[in-house]
Amino acid sequence: MANDGIDLDVPAGQIHALLGENGAGKTTLMNVLYGLTQPDEGEILIDGRPMRLRSPRDAIDAGIGMVHQHFMLVPVFTVAENVVLGREPTRPLGLLDRRKARREVLELSNRYGLSVDPDAYVEHLPVGVQQRVEIVKALMGHANVLILDEPTAVLTPGETEELFRIMRDLKASGRSILFISHKLKEVQAIADSVTVLRRGRVVGSPPPTATDAELASMMVGRDVELVVHKDVAKPGAVVLAVDHLAVLDETGRRAVDDVTFEVHAGEILGIAGVQGNGQTELCKALLGLLPVEGGTVTLEGRDITGDSTRDVLDSNVGYVPEDRQEDGLVEAFSVSENLVLDVYDQSPFSSGLVLHPDRIDESARRSMAGFDIRASSIDVPVKTLSGGNQQKVILARELGRETHLLVANQPTRGLDVGSIEFVHRRIVASRDRGAAVVIVSTELDEIYALSDRIAVMYEGRIVGIVPPTISAGELGLLMAGAGSAPADERAEVQPA
């Protein structure tokens, strides 16, 4: 049961936020509204008239538009072609009326300030623009109700601001927007009214002016610590030293350029930056997943430049990759198999060639309890777990062994408040046990919550290493490549 007796009212010309953790039933509810799933009970009224939505077609005809979490665009088509997909304006002989399609896209784009080029190929557009294409697509269907499913999950802070402006314009034109999110700040910033879902039920309709803590506890069902409690770092010896590192990405572009930094034991270095400024390549190079073009990586005094991933992991390095599903887990494998993905060939899980499934299962049960992994059993495929629980599987695996260095790339992306709190606490706990931690995040909140020092990456370079006391404005400027860290504010580590 994903939705149980939900009542929801969206008045015209309002932005209504649907707030809930992953798996609370937000997406199911939206699929019901968009005709993708049929309700077993209850009804949908539009302008007071009951509607039966058997398919997205019905929903579109009823004036409902949807922007999915994952975009439904054809990458090799132009914007105009994508927008008219499914309702192509035709000329006699069934020819596609490209000019009309272009004109319509331009008109909508101009009216709502979407600045979308109808002739651009979708595959060449940044994610934020692709999302605007989706919005144009929904508006072309004369949508009066626009459903945005976690629209900010893929956007940079700047793009999010831009989206909010567009949402306000749409609201001003009398359209209703259903905004699905689990990010409290965004809901507070944009929503006129809020409905909170938990385990498929409506648990409340707080005013958008409610505090973070109120909204979060309503969502999670208990009080949540939004700010991770952490003591002042007691940095020890240098664990990781990166010296003039240069890395080429898969396309041969210099993604990491002359990067130098050190991370000490018992310290968290947060690497801030807009997505795609070399953070991912940096992490991969540290782990031996990308070849090093120049410079050195030293781990606990030993040169590990160019070592294999196996060797790096065996030197007590834990790695939380950016893309859980693609790099961190084998989705078809069971929870217990995923928990030994990089230690399956070590004692006690195997001796020589022989695998010991009983010991793997036993350890999996311990990890499940220790890391609060919610799954019906250790044998279910990991893809049936929610994102938060999948991430707990990875953390349990990487922190389950002795970890001297933890490299975590976007460790809480797409997770709900409760899971973020859990992941953050675990990361801080591993720091307090003496591990050196490198966190890459595009979320400023996360950077501030965790970092003992902040390194800012821009176009493959580290443009500054600053203390976490730096203002968000200054940090934002650094991330945008403007300004530089004032010399007297540079964070220096005081060895304990």
Partner 1 sequence: MTGDVAVATGDEVRPPQGSEPPAGQAGGGPGERGFTQVLIDAVTRGNSVVVTIAAFVLAIVVGGLIIAFTNTTVLHAWGNLFSAPGKAFAAAWDTASGAYTAMFEGAIVNPHAVSAAFHGGPISAVFNPLSETAVTATPIILSGLGVALAFRAGLFNIGAASQFIGGAMIAGWIGFAVHLPIVLHVVVAVIGGFVGGAAVGGFAGFLKARTGAHEVITTIMLNYVMEYLLIYLLGLTVFRRPGNPNPISPTIAKNAQLPHLFGANLRVNAGFLIALAAAAAVWLMLYRTTTGFQLRTVGSNPRAARSAGMRPERSWIIVMLVAGGLAGLAGASVVQGTNFDLAPLIWGTYNVYAITVALLGRASPVGTVLAGLLFGALRAGGVTMQASTQIPVDIVTVIQALIVLFVAAPPLMRAIFRFRAPRSGGEQLEARGWGG
DSSP character string of 383-412: GGS-HHHHHHHHHHHHHHS--SEEEEESTT
**According to CB under 8 A, which one of 15, 19, 32, 60 is a site residue for partner 1?**
32
| Residue 401 is a binding residue for partner 1 (CB under 8 A) | no
Which residues, 377 to 396, sit near partner 1 by CB under 8 A? 380-381, 383-386
Residues 6+ apart with CB under 8 A from 310: none
Give the nearer residue to partner 1 in terms of CB position, either 287 or 450: 287
d(CA 241, CA 439): 15
| Inter-helix orientation angle 98-111/127-140, to 10° | 110
d(CA 275, CA 351): 42
Which residues, 444 to 473, sit near partner 1 by CB under 8 A? none
| Residue 37 is a binding residue for partner 1 (CB under 8 A) | yes
**According to CB under 8 A, which one of 118, 200, 270, 460 is a site residue for partner 1?**
200
For residue 371, report the phi and psi dihedrals to the nearest 5 degrees: -105, 10
Point out which span in 246-254, 352-360, 445-453, 482-490 binds partner 1 (CB under 8 A). 352-360
Interface characters, 167-186, with partner 1 (x: CB under 8 A): -------xxx-x--------
Give the nearer residue to partner 1 in terms of CB position, either 150 or 446: 150
The distance of closest approach from Cβ of residue 84 to partner 1 in the complex, given in angstroms and rounded to an integer, is 19
For residue 201, report the phi and psi dihedrals to the nearest 5 degrees: -125, 155
Closest CA to 157 of 419, 483, 475: 475
Residue 208 CB: number of other CB atoms within 10 A?
Answer: 17
Which residues, 66 to 95, sit near partner 1 by CB under 8 A? 68-73, 75
Give the nearer residue to partner 1 in terms of CB position, either 214 or 327: 327
| Residue 350 is a binding residue for partner 1 (CB under 8 A) | yes
Residues 6+ apart with CB under 8 A from 59: 33, 34, 35, 53, 66
Return the SS3 of 167.
helix
Q: Is the peptide bond before 118 cis (omega within 30 degrees of 0)?
A: no
Which residues, 4 to 23, sit near partner 1 by CB under 8 A? 4-13, 23
The distance of closest approach from Cβ of residue 487 to partner 1 in the complex, given in angstroms and rounded to an integer, is 38
Residue 309 CB: number of other CB atoms within 10 A?
Answer: 14
Which residues, 127 to 166, sit near partner 1 by CB under 8 A? 127, 130, 144-145, 153-154
Interface characters, 410-439, with partner 1 (x: CB under 8 A): ------------------------------
Interface characters, 307-346, with partner 1 (x: CB under 8 A): -xxxxxxx----x-x---xxxxxxxxx---x---xx-xx-
Point out which span in 28-36, 112-120, 182-190, 250-258 binds partner 1 (CB under 8 A). 28-36
Inter-residue contact 402 to 381 (CB < 8 Å): no
Give the nearer residue to partner 1 in terms of CB position, either 381 or 400: 381
The distance of closest approach from Cβ of residue 134 to partner 1 in the complex, given in angstroms and rounded to an integer, is 10
Residue 488 DSSP symbol: G
**According to CB under 8 A, which one of 15, 33, 84, 297 is a site residue for partner 1?**
33
Point out which span in 2-10, 157-165, 181-189, 232-240 binds partner 1 (CB under 8 A). 2-10
Inter-residue contact 153 to 414 (CB < 8 Å): yes
Inter-residue contact 34 to 53 (CB < 8 Å): yes
Give the nearer residue to partner 1 in terms of CB position, either 87 or 310: 310
Give the nearer residue to partner 1 in terms of CB position, either 5 or 370: 5
Which residues, 42 to 71, sit near partner 1 by CB under 8 A? 42-48, 63-64, 68-71
Which residues, 261 to 290, sit near partner 1 by CB under 8 A? 287, 289
Taking every pair of Cα atoms in the chain, the longest distance, rounded to a whole number of angstroms, is 80
| Residue 252 is a binding residue for partner 1 (CB under 8 A) | no
d(CA 323, CA 414): 10
Point out which span in 26-34, 83-91, 159-167, 298-306 binds partner 1 (CB under 8 A). 26-34
Give the nearer residue to partner 1 in terms of CB position, either 176 or 412: 176
Residue type, 369: A
- Length of the chain as a residue count: 496
Q: Alpha helix locations (H) across 117-156?
A: 127-140
